Amino acid sequence: MTTPNQIVVSPVSGARQLSLFIKLPRLLYNDQPSYVPPLDMEQKDMLHPRRSPFFSHGTACYFLAWRDGKPIGRISAQIDTLTLEQPGPRTGFFGALDALDTDCVKPLLDAATDWLKAQGIERIRGPWTLNSHGESGTMIDGQMEPPMVGTGWHPATLGPAIEQAGFSKAIDLLSYRMETSPAAEQANRIPNNLRERLGGITVRGLRKDRIDEDADILRTIYNDAWEGTWGNVPITAIEIHALLKALKPVLRPEQFVLVEFKEEPVAIALVIPNVFDLNGDIGGAPSPLGWVKLASRLLTHDFYSARVILLGVKKKLSGTALSAIIPGLLIDELMKRGRDLPYRTIELGWVLETNMPIRNLIERIVPVPYKRHRMFEKLLS
């Protein structure tokens, strides 16, 4: 028997509670003046065990926090078997942590921690939904900025509540908003004849008739480039193909940038349009008329912003002149593509605060990040 105002945390049970878990942020935050809800359908693709590619190599348990029969918070606890193959403490994750009532944050984190400890986990990190290829970090700065696809929104009170629950900052992820303007291109300072001087460099877009082949190239370069980076988990073939399948209605060849050196793929970037540009006025659960509006906007590619979700340069180029030049070349190409497409801004997001080479390159164009997300961790005795 529970007493009035008592917080109860319990595992998600059954289809109805799973549906509630998926849409709960929209119910919690809908009255916040700066919050724009994502589509429930998009969240379901990310979290539902039968739809999310994470579950091909991971397991998870979802929890809801209740007070007086009303849901007031949620959290996930998950284990990615690919992470368990990495050196160091056996690491599990928490994610999908959402709450306005910060009294429920510690009980939710305790529930996630207890579940992971029972699975033999020695360190907990998060939030990730559900691993490093999903929504990452708790928003610390940027709540009043326009929303961006794939980026979580949280009230400013959530980060401090996680720290008060006994978690420490692990690292911050920075996001930069880059204008596709002549001034920004000039700031990047890529000489017009650079490719000719280097010799053997070509840049191309996505081959829609060979999309599976390009997906494998994208995955290979990305995994090579990010191997050993803090918190990174290799992206699987299932995940990359699921991503491109989900993006197919909005994917244009110009959104994929592949750099080849002497016909060998050496660097990639993938840009996705910001779906919030289209659904800001129709909500997370559109009416039939709302779906018609969304479909019409998708057909006309009526976006004005986009986000780089994958970017990498092969490690074999480390220490060479090419390794210093190619990231700038990718950014230059992205800005040019932004002119060909309707995007006025492109976000370069989730840059590790410790990644000074990339930060220095970006901050020549955009001196200050406009959003900051924080990762937390805790060793389990």
Report the domain count for the chain.
Answer: 2
Output Rg (C-alpha) for the chain, integer angstroms: 21
> Is there a domain that residue 225 lies in?
yes
Asked if 217 and 314 sit in the same domain, the reply is yes
What number is the average pLDDT over the span 163-178? 96
Q: Could you give the count of Cα atoms lying within 13 Å of 348 in the half-sphere of its Cβ?
A: 29
d(CA 353, CA 345): 22
**What residues contact 360, with CB distance under 8 A and at least 6 apart?**
none
Asked if 223 and 362 sit in the same domain, the reply is yes
Mean pLDDT (the chain) is 88
**What residues contact 245, with CB distance under 8 A and at least 6 apart?**
none
Selection from 342, 339, 334 nearest residue 365 by Cα? 334
Asked if 258 and 337 sit in the same domain, the reply is yes
> Is there a domain that residue 1 lies in?
no
Asked if 203 and 344 sit in the same domain, the reply is yes
Asked if 164 and 254 sit in the same domain, the reply is no
Asked if 166 and 186 sit in the same domain, the reply is no
Confidence band for 39, pLDDT divided at 50, 70 and 90: confident
> Is there a domain that residue 379 lies in?
no
d(CA 130, CA 92): 11
Counting Cβ atoms within 10 Å, is residue 230 exposed (0-12), middle (13-18) or buried (19+)? middle
Tens-place pLDDT, residues 336-372? 776 778 888 889 989 999 999 889 888 988 999 999 9
Asked if 183 and 68 sit in the same domain, the reply is no
Asked if 110 and 233 sit in the same domain, the reply is no
d(CA 271, CA 335): 11
Counting Cβ atoms within 10 Å, is residue 330 exposed (0-12), middle (13-18) or buried (19+)? buried
294 pLDDT more than 80: no
> Is there a domain that residue 115 lies in?
yes
> Is there a domain that residue 100 lies in?
yes
pTM of the model as a whole: 0.91
Q: For tokens 């497409």, name the residue.
A: 341
Selection from 34, 54, 29 nearest residue 44 by Cα? 54
Which string of b and e fits 243-281 if b means at least 16 CB within 10 Å?
Answer: bbeebeebbbebbbbbbebeeebbbbbbbbbbbbbbbee
> Is there a domain that residue 369 lies in?
yes
Strands 305-313 and 345-352: parallel
What number is the average pLDDT over the span 121-143? 94
Domain ranges, residue 30: 7-174
186 pLDDT more than 70: no
Domain end residue (candidates: 123, 149, 174): 174
Confidence band for 138, pLDDT divided at 50, 70 and 90: very high
Asked if 197 and 305 sit in the same domain, the reply is yes
- Cα dist from 264 to 38, 204, 311, 316, whole Å: 38, 12, 17, 12
Highest mean pLDDT among 44-48, 121-125, 344-348: 121-125
- Cα dist from 219 to 224, 229, 243, whole Å: 8, 16, 11
Q: Give the torsion through C-alpha atoms of 131, 137, 143, 148, to 10 deg.
A: -30
Q: Are 216 and 237 in contact (CB under 8 A)?
A: yes
Q: Are 352 and 171 in contact (CB under 8 A)?
A: yes
Asked if 77 and 193 sit in the same domain, the reply is no
Domain end residue (candidates: 174, 207, 233): 174
> Is there a domain that residue 239 lies in?
yes
pLDDT given at position 198: 66
Tens-place pLDDT, residues 68-104? 999 999 999 999 999 998 888 999 999 999 999 999 9
d(CA 4, CA 301): 51
Tens-place pLDDT, residues 232-252? 889 999 898 888 877 877 788
- Cα dist from 180 to 148, 207, 304, 334, whole Å: 16, 24, 11, 8
Q: Are 340 and 86 in contact (CB under 8 A)?
A: no
